[in-house]
Amino acid sequence: MDRKLLFAMGLTIATLMIFHYFNTPDHKNKTTVPVDVRPGQSYKVPTAQDLAQPINTEIDFVDKKISQKEEIKKIDTDLYEISFSNYGGVISTVDFKKHLGKKDVPLRTIHHKNFYEREDSAFLLALDEKTPYFYNFKETKELEDSHYITFEAVTSDWIINKIYKVHKKIYKIDLELVFEPKSKEIKSIQPRLFFPAPIVAEISDDKLEGFTMDVSGESVRKVYEKELDQAWVMPSIFGAEDKYFAHCLEKDPNSFVQRAFFKFANKKIYPVLQGPVISQKSSWNISFYVGPKLIDDLTAVDPRLEGLLYFGWLSWLCKLLLKLLEWIYSFLGNFGFAIILLTILIKMPFLPLSITSKKKIDEYQRYQPTINRIRMKYKNDLKLQQAEIMKFHKDHNLSPTTPFFGCLPFLIQMPILFALYRILNGYLDLYQAPFIGWITDLSSKDPYYVLPILMGGSMIWQQLLTPMIDARQKVMMFFLPVIMTYIFTGFPAGLVLYWLMNNLLMISEDYLKKMIYK
Closest among 172, 122, 164, 173 to 141, alpha carbons compared: 164
**Helix/strand/coil (H, E, C) string of 298-309?**
HHHHCHHHHHHH
**Number of Cβ within a 10 Å radius of residue 47:** 7
User: Is the model's pLDDT at 366 over the cut of 90?
Assistant: no
Which of 161-165, 240-244, 319-323 bottoms out in mean pLDDT, i.e. has the lowest? Answer: 319-323
- CATH placement of domain 72-310: 2.70.98.90
C-alpha–C-alpha distance, residues 345 and 351, integer Å: 11
User: Is the model's pLDDT at 40 over the cut of 90?
Assistant: no
Would you say 477 and 463 are in contact if contact means Cβ atoms under 8 Å apart? Answer: yes
Pairing of strands 238-241, 245-251: antiparallel
User: In this predicted model, what pLDDT tens digit does every residue of 333-364 receive, in sequence order?
Assistant: 999 999 999 989 988 887 777 777 777 777 77
C-alpha–C-alpha distance, residues 232 and 249, integer Å: 13
C-alpha–C-alpha distance, residues 171 and 358, integer Å: 50
How far is the CA of 353 from the CAs of 348, 460, 499, 508, in angstroms? 10, 23, 20, 14
Give the mean pLDDT of 204-214.
Answer: 85
User: In this predicted model, what pLDDT tens digit does every residue of 269-320 receive, in sequence order?
Assistant: 999 999 999 988 999 999 999 999 999 999 999 999 988 888 777 788 888 8
Would you say 215 and 147 are in contact if contact means Cβ atoms under 8 Å apart? Answer: no
Looking at residue 8, its pLDDT comes to 39
C-alpha–C-alpha distance, residues 386 and 393, integer Å: 11
Give the mean pLDDT of 447-460.
Answer: 89
User: Is the model's pLDDT at 415 over the cut of 60?
Assistant: yes
Cα–Cα–Cα angle for 317, 323, 327, rounded to 5 degrees: 145
Where in the chain are the domains? 72-310, 316-516
Closest among 252, 241, 256 to 195, alpha carbons compared: 241
Would you say 122 and 195 are in contact if contact means Cβ atoms under 8 Å apart? Answer: yes
Give the mean pLDDT of 212-234.
Answer: 82
